[in-house]
């Protein structure tokens, strides 16, 4: 099924929700205009729809292959990657000193949404490289930046993240990979699993970011260091030298994203893989979180992207499929389509808002404003990652349901979206871990200050919407106000009980994250309703803006009411999670 980049919807999110206006005046963004962004979106949409999307089904069927120690991507993947790098897309958010275009993250996530919707298995490669650039730009030495960033920013080389080991899983403190000092470098030994694009044929070199322990490192997470381990060593003049002692042992056979090579990697089977320490010893986990947080944002965007792809296909099928007339006429099919549409628009508005805060945190001239924006980003990132990826799975599942029996067989392609979406709630720390991070580190650690500040900002925003003529979406303001109250009630309960009963508090972490996401999405829909009302008043496209108001009204009536039930589950239901002895489960 073809993919059409939703440029009009993306433009609405950027312009009518006021997000582009927030970042356009920041230092380095002075030349950002609606016309420039439109041109970028149009070109990204063409690349996504015409070059990358046609490879989605083909890649799923063919998959990545591993033979005689060589990993090959599906037919056409390498050519599409060259088109991507030739267009300069690999470096759009990065410093021009290293060949980047210096565009805002807000614009970057809009482009990445389109690429991910076109083909999530393909997009994982540039997504990880973007994270590696962020890591090195923040923590690498000048020599490391000069050696690796130009090639990574251009996309000539790819980056990877090497954390997980088979015995440890998410418990990174238990990792066993070793790093032995050897002059100006270290020799790395160990095995890593689940390494996305750990080896492939799309770039000349692959730069692995590897966590390992030095000989005298303390036990646990405080003894982890971070190393650059290139597949091919780099000569002083920047040319590629011999292959490093790094190799792929096998590829995982997965539920979805078949075309993305998920590798078991071996480091140092012979003399030891040459690695270069990033920053200081034992600070590796801290540094890696820069890459992980970038990846979490992008995984949230991938949830949105796969949802958009599934919705487009389900909508077309519902219009064409005859069952006592086109099935799009049936109320329950309409309900499912509206659920998909409303979730997508809420995700897009919320995730793009987080990206705008990221731009402010990086670029604003006032240090206090930067700090406040970074605090907001830290609060929102786990919600973007987990809520959007959960919604992506839900929307893809509804896509199968709309197809009926035809959705459960592979020939329609609806099942692929679900299979591809299902990894996102597991990636980069499972969504349960994201919920624990949200509650333990982002809410309890500061006594609820950041969460309360966010809640207060929503209440102020709701007041600003009062009196706006939004037609059927008028119910949104009162429903959003009630949902914000539910979030405040749950937040207060967590803060009051967090120190006394940690287990019960964390038992409510996942419902709290879902509640937070629903409310944040509702706020985005309120902004959309306000923007649509203004568009109608100014004589804009009546059908387009009226549909935005109807979608906002649907969100208010069908999704926001879940907030109160989730708050009750948190405040009254945590003990029930722990009531049964674990031996009886």
List, by residue number, the catalytic residues. Answer: 428
Q: What does R_g of the chain's alpha carbons equal in angstroms?
A: 24
Q: How far is CA 419 from CA 58, 336, 395, in A?
A: 15, 19, 12
* Whole-number Å distance between alpha carbons of 377 and 392: 21
By the 8 A CB rule, do 349 and 528 touch? yes
* Whole-number Å distance between alpha carbons of 555 and 16: 18
Q: Which residues sit opposite 71 in a β-bridge?
A: 66
CA-CA-CA-CA torsion sign (166, 169, 175, 179):
positive
Residue with tokens 């980056």: 159
Residues 239-257 as b or e (16 or more Cβ within 10 Å = b): eeeeebbbbbbebeebebb
Compute the CA torsion angle 234, 240, 242, 243 (nearest 10 deg): 80
DSSP 213: B
* Whole-number Å distance between alpha carbons of 451 and 456: 9
Who contacts 526 (Cβ-Cβ below 8 Å, separation ≥6)? 461, 462, 465, 476, 477, 480, 552
């Amino acid at each position: 099924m073809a993919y059409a980049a939703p440029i009009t919807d993306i433009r609405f999110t950027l312009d009518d929700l006021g997000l582009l206006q927030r970042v356009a005046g920041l230092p380095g963004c002075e030349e950002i205009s609606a016309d420039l962004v439109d041109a970028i979106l149009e070109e990204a949409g063409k690349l996504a729809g015409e070059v990358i999307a046609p490879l989605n089904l083909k890649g799923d069927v063919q998959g990545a292959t591993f033979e005689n120690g060589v990993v090959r991507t599906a037919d056409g993947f390498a050519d599409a990657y060259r088109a991507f790098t030739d267009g300069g897309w690999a470096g759009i958010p990065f410093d021009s000193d290293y060949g980047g275009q210096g565009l805002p993250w807000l614009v970057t996530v809009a482009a990445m949404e389109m690429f991910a919707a076109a083909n999530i298995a393909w997009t994982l490669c540039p997504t990880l490289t973007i994270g590696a650039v962020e890591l090195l730009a923040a923590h690498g030495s000048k020599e490391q930046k000069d050696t690796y960033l130009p090639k990574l920013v251009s996309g000539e080389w790819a980056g990877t993240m090497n954390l997980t080991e088979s015995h440890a899983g998410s418990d990174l403190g238990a990792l066993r990979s070793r790093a032995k000092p050897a002059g100006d470098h270290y020799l790395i030994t160990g095995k890593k699993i689940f390494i996305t694009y750990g080896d492939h044929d799309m770039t000349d070199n692959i730069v692995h970011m590897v966590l390992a322990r030095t000989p005298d490192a303390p036990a646990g997470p405080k003894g982890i260091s971070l190393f650059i381990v290139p597949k091919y060593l780099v000569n002083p003049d920047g040319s590629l030298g011999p292959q490093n002692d790094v190799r792929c042992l096998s590829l995982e056979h997965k539920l979805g994203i078949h075309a993305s090579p998920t590798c078991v990697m071996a480091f140092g089977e012979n003399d030891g893989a040459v690695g270069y320490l990033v920053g200081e010893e034992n600070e590796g986990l801290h540094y890696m979180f820069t890459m992980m947080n970038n990846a979490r944002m992008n995984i949230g965007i991938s949830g949105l992207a796969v949802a958009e792809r599934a919705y487009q296909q389900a909508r077309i099928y519902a219009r064409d499929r005859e069952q006592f007339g086109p099935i799009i006429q049936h109320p329950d099919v309409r309900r499912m389509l509206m659920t998909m549409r409303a979730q997508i628009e809420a995700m897009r508005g919320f995730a793009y808002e987080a990206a705008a805060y990221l731009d402010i945190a990086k670029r604003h001239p006032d240090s206090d404003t930067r700090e406040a924006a970074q605090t907001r980003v830290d609060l929102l990132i786990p919600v973007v990652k987990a809520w959007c990826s959960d919604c992506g799975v839900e929307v893809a599942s509804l896509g199968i349901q709309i197809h009926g029996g035809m959705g459960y067989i592979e020939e329609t392609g609806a099942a692929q979206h679900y299979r591809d979406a299902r990894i996102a709630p597991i990636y980069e720390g499972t969504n349960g871990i994201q919920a624990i991070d949200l509650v333990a580190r982002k809410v309890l650690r500061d006594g609820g200050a950041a969460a309360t500040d966010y809640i207060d900002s929503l209440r102020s925003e709701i007041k600003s919407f009062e009196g706006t003529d939004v037609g059927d979406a008028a119910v949104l303001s009162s429903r959003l106000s009630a949902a914000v109250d539910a979030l405040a009630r749950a937040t207060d309960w967590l803060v009051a009980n967090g120190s006394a009963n940690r287990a019960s508090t964390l038992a409510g972490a996942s419902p709290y994250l879902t509640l937070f996401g629903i409310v944040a999405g509702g706020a985005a829909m309120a902004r959309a309703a306000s923007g649509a009302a203004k568009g109608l008043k100014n004589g804009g496209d009546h059908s387009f803006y009226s549909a935005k108001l109807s979608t906002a009204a649907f969100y208010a009536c069908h999704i926001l009411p879940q907030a109160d039930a989730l708050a009750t589950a948190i405040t009254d239901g945590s003990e029930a999670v722990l009531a049964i002895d674990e031996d009886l489960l």
